[in-house]
Amino acid sequence: MRAPSEAWPTSLGTVLREWGRIGITGFGGPPAHIALLRRLCVDDRGWLDATEFEDAIAACNLLPGPASTELAIFCAWRVRGRLGAVIGGLAFIVPGLIIILVLSALFLAGKPPLWVRGAGAGAGAAVAAVAVQAGWTLLTPSWKRASAREPVRVSRLRWALYLLAGGAASATIGPWLVLVLLGCGAVELGLRRLSWRPSAVPGMAPLFPAVLSGGVLASVAWVAFKVGALSFGGGFVIIPLMQADAVSHYHWMTGAQFLNAVALGQITPGPVVQTVSAVGYAAAGLPGGLLAAVVAFSPSFAFVLGGGRYFGRLRESRAAQAFLDGAGPAAIGAIFGAAIMLTRALSEGWQFAVLAGAAVLLLVLRRGVVLTLLSAAAVGLVIALAGGPLPG
């Protein structure tokens, strides 16, 4: 993919309007974002051809961080250059950020109203089912990818081991999950290198994250950095990266509040990674929420602005593909591990019934995530108003 010429196909005002519209109406997470971007850039306006768009999706999935956000920034870069990428990316992110910060002020307050507590407890109870659905949708394509490699039995065995490693790490050592994801990718890359000629493998620079220390805002920045720059798979992979830090290590939130934050990230438009803004808000108020958003999304802008013109090469890179073949299954396992952690956070009997109902809606009846979470919130609201028990 080459950088676009100076003869841009559209104006900055159009980028602001169209990407902002997707940021406002993009309920449903990455699948909805990809569909809306494809309709705009390929089907309606013809700014990108279908092949380039599919290659961009694949390249974004090879990068750490929120893939749909990176795709939105890339598409804006293709139609209006660097300034368009910044404007389009912000237009895509900011509407959801505003909404989640407003809802965080309501749901994460020290003493929220009874109806808020009930709705949050209901929606939070359904989050584990949403995680299972997210993992399940990724499972089959990843398995087929492993089955397409030779020898099939060996590649399937490694796939299963990476999946189990990610799940076990997610359910037990949440904050260090990122090391397991990177490790699985590195192992697969190393094994593949044994069968490649050295000259045929492009180098991959190692990541050496700087560990931040000292002060609440520094801790918020470190958690957000792990989410935005070191997590593969996006979506629910970020949950175990945040939960142990936010609940157990730093004690910014209770388990029930964390469930509320995850639910808020699912029902608001825009990227699911917005959940980290709710965590930042719980830690340090509005400055913490804004800082978390800036740190979490900055790598996405850096990846696209600095390397967008190389996305085609990244798509064809055997080294990048090999790394993702290890990190990808581990990320899927981490999503299932996150479901275990989220289930453990439930404390009331009726919440487990809500979880079971949500699983039926999502996995059997195939209803949408937003509808499921709103239905669960309604159940929690009714129980709270009827005087039922609520999580502490």
What pTM did the predictor assign? 0.82
The predicted model gives 24-48 an average pLDDT of 90
**Residue 195: its pLDDT value, please?**
67
What percentage of the chain has pLDDT greater than the value 70?
Answer: 92
Asked if the structure places residue 102 within a domain, the reply is yes
Q: Which of 122, 125, 128 is nearest to 380 (CA)?
A: 122
Residue 88 sits in the same domain as residue 220: no
What percentage of the chain has pLDDT greater than the value 90?
Answer: 49
Residue 291 sits in the same domain as residue 361: yes
> Where in the sequence is the domain holding 325, given as residue range(s)?
96-385
Q: What angle do CA 220, 289, 253 make, to 5 degrees?
A: 65
pLDDT (tens digit, 9 = 90+) per residue, 138-179?
Answer: 888 888 878 877 788 878 899 999 999 999 988 887 777 888
Structural domain ending residue among the three candidates 75, 92, 109? 92
Asked if the structure places residue 391 within a domain, the reply is no
User: Which one has a higher pLDDT value, 214 or 219?
Assistant: 219
27 — pLDDT class (breaks 50, 70, 90):
confident
The predicted model gives 86-91 an average pLDDT of 97
Residue 164's H or E segment, with its range, is helix 152-172
**Residue 202: its pLDDT value, please?**
42
Residue 53 sits in the same domain as residue 106: no
Q: Which two tokens stand for residue 261?
A: 């934050």
Asked if the structure places residue 2 within a domain, the reply is no
Does the pLDDT at position 63 exceed 70? Answer: yes
Residue 42 sits in the same domain as residue 156: no
Q: Which two tokens stand for residue 248?
A: 């157990």
Q: Which of 103, 124, 360, 75 is nearest to 239 (CA)?
A: 124
Residue 140 sits in the same domain as residue 66: no
Residue 58 sits in the same domain as residue 106: no
pLDDT (tens digit, 9 = 90+) per residue, 282-310?
Answer: 999 999 999 999 999 999 999 999 988 88
Asked if the structure places residue 6 within a domain, the reply is no
Asked if the structure places residue 3 within a domain, the reply is no
Residue 256 sits in the same domain as residue 277: yes
Structural domain ending residue among the three candidates 51, 69, 92? 92
The rounded distance, in Å, linking the Cα atoms of 179 and 111 is 37
Structural domain ending residue among the three candidates 67, 92, 117? 92
Asked if the structure places residue 212 within a domain, the reply is yes
Burial class (CB in 10 A: 0-12, 13-18, 19+), 8: middle
Residue 324 sits in the same domain as residue 381: yes
User: Which one has a higher pLDDT value, 196 or 360?
Assistant: 360
**Residue 204: its pLDDT value, please?**
37
Does the pLDDT at position 258 exceed 70? Answer: yes
Residue 194 sits in the same domain as residue 211: yes
205 — pLDDT class (breaks 50, 70, 90):
very low
Burial class (CB in 10 A: 0-12, 13-18, 19+), 140: exposed
Residue 53 sits in the same domain as residue 128: no
Asked if the structure places residue 106 within a domain, the reply is yes
Instruction: Please give the tally of structural domains in the chain.
Output: 2
46 — pLDDT class (breaks 50, 70, 90):
very high
Report the chain's mean pLDDT, rounded to a whole number.
86
Lowest-confidence pick of 9-23, 70-84, 129-143, 229-243: 229-243
Asked if the structure places residue 375 within a domain, the reply is yes
Q: Which two tokens stand for residue 345?
A: 């956070």
* Amino acid sitting at position 387: G
Residue 176 sits in the same domain as residue 38: no
Q: Which of 255, 239, 250 is nearest to 283 (CA)?
A: 250
Residue 127 sits in the same domain as residue 180: yes
